[in-house]
Amino acid sequence: MKEDSTKTALGNIKIHKNVLISSTYIAVLETEGVYGFYVNTRDEIYRVLNKDFKPGIVISVDKNNEIVISLSIIVKYGYNLSAVATKVQENVRFAIDKIVEANIKDINVIIKGLERR
């Protein structure tokens, strides 16, 4: 699914998948204890080719129109990993629910590292 479409009396409303990615990106970075997203070499190359690319976020929609969000993050040293991951899940769900009516099945948080700063 590239975009979600809704028909209204006045016409169609289409929401591109990048809107969900951008909202997710902001919600994660605003979470206390999150240093940033995990970026590998492939992501760096893709980011050069596509300025709108947000590394560390994968959003997919299954056959039942349920959204699965997978996030690869780096947590600041000294924070409780489980608490940060749970807060990320809550913030992302709130951010997506605030902008669209979406059926979110899972928000998977993969902590790929710690950063001391």
Q: What is the mean pLDDT of residues 36-42?
A: 80
* Phi, psi (deg, nearest 5) at residue 78: 100, -10
pLDDT, tens digit, 9 for 90 and up, residues 71-98: 999 999 999 999 999 999 999 999 999 9
pLDDT digits (tens, 9 = 90+) for 52-77: 667 889 898 888 888 999 999 999 99
Residue 3 pLDDT > 70: no
Distance (Å, whole) CA 96 – CA 83: 20
| Both tokens assigned to 65 | 């129109």
pTM of the model: 0.83
Give me the residue spans of the domains in the chain: 3-115
Residue 50: pLDDT over 70 = no
Contact by Cβ (8 Å): 111, 75 = yes
Q: How confident is the model at residue 41 (pLDDT cuts 50, 70, 90)?
A: low
- According to CATH, the superfamily of the domain at 3-115 is Cation efflux protein, cytoplasmic domain (3.30.70.1350)
Q: How many residues does the chain have?
A: 117
Instruction: State the angle between helix axes of 17-29 and 81-99 in degrees (0 to 180), rounded to the nearest 10.
Output: 140
3-class secondary structure per residue, 75-97: EECCCCHHHHHHHHHHHHHHHHH
